[in-house]
Chain A
Amino acid sequence: KNEVEQSPQNLTAQEGEFITINCSYSVGISALHWLQQHPGGGIVSLFMLSSGKKKHGRLIATINIQEKHSSLHITASHPRDSAVYICAVNKGGSEKLVFGKGTKLTVNP
């Protein structure tokens, strides 16, 4: 069983819609990361969370440590938001990241 599970696997939205991507994990963590991977393959870090909520522009990330769950929200989605969004965690005291399989988001104009 994967230690990090994301849903949905694929998501198609119309421009302007509010997007939610979910991540659940089954291990103790020191931090959770949301990353963005564009079709060219490069990975960009969006958020690093250990509690609560963070906001950057139209992106909001939340984490509930007790429920071992995190969500990534995108407000007023735009076609340029189309990418794969990946949840990853630092297990316990480890520096390495354990990745989810990613959610492929397509935003249509």
Chain B
Amino acid sequence: EPEVTQTPSHQVTQMGQEVILRCVPISNHLYFYWYRQILGQKVEFLVSFYNNEISEKSEIFDDQFSVERPDGSNFTLKIRSTKLEDSAMYFCASAGQNTEAFFGQGTRLTVV
């Protein structure tokens, strides 16, 4: 069964450092998303990406965040200068036209 894969599964970084979270969506999907879940809280939308551009973003997704689909398979989330409050589980998801979203297993980001 096709799946969304995320790497790394766990990332520890120093405050102020840049991190790149990587995702390989399901190959024939058209819509790509990043969500995050701070420990003990609900899942929150960050950004959606369609047709090689951002289609929607939340207030959380400020200038410190960027997304890229550098080739036909990868979808990355970059945080330029991490803050302690960026510590969370980050989920990548992808969807086809009018289909449910398929989620990756998540990357647990810890900023110290």
A47 to chain B, nearest CB (A): 8
Please tell me if the beta carbons of A99 and B56 are within 8 angstroms of each other in the complex.
no
**Cβ contact within 8 Å between A45 and B33:** no
Which residue on chain A has the smallest CB distance to residue B49?
A95
Of all chain A residues, which has the CB nearest B6?
Answer: A42
By a CB distance below 8 angstroms, the chain A residues around B45 are: 96-98
A43 within 8 A of partner (CB): yes
A96, B43: Cβ atoms closer than 8 Å: no
User: Closest B-chain residue to A33, C-beta based?
Assistant: B100
Give the A interface residue count (CB, 8 A). 21
B105 to A40, Cβ gap below 8 A?
Answer: yes
Interface size class of B (residues with CB under 8 A): 20 to 34
Given A33-B100, A101-B42, A95:B56 Cβ within 8 A? yes
B interface majority secondary structure? strand
Chain A's nearest CB lies how many Å from the CB of B48? Answer: 5
Instruction: Please tell me if the beta carbons of B101 and A33 are within 8 angstroms of each other in the complex.
Output: yes
The docked-state distance in angstroms from the alpha carbon of A40 to that of B43 is 15
Complex interface: chain B residues within 8 A of A99 (CB): 42-44
Give Cα A99 to B58, complex, Å.
14
Residues 28-53 of A, flagged 1 when their CB comes within 8 A of B and 0 if not, give 00000101000011111101100000
Chief secondary structure at chain A's binding surface: strand
Q: Identify the closest chain B residue to A90 (Cβ).
A: B101
B89 within 8 A of A: yes
- Contact at A45–B31, with CB atoms within 8 Å? no
On whether the beta carbons of A43 and B91 are closer than 8 Å, the reply is: yes
Task: Give the residues in chain B near A94, CB-CB below 8 Å.
Answer: 56
A99 to chain B, nearest CB (A): 4
Once the chains bind, are A95 and B55 in contact (CB under 8 Å)? yes
Measured CA separation A33–B31 after assembly (Å): 16
Interface residues of B (CB under 8 A from A): 31, 33, 35, 37, 41-45, 48, 50, 55-56, 58, 89, 91, 95, 99-106, 108
Chain A interface (Cβ within 8 Å of chain B)? 33, 35, 40-45, 47-48, 86, 88, 94-102
Can you list 21 A-B pairs, Cβ within 8 angstroms, ordered by A?
A41-B37, A41-B89, A41-B106, A42-B103, A42-B106, A43-B91, A43-B103, A45-B101, A45-B102, A48-B100, A88-B43, A95-B33, A95-B56, A95-B95, A96-B33, A96-B48, A96-B56, A97-B33, A99-B42, A99-B44, A100-B42
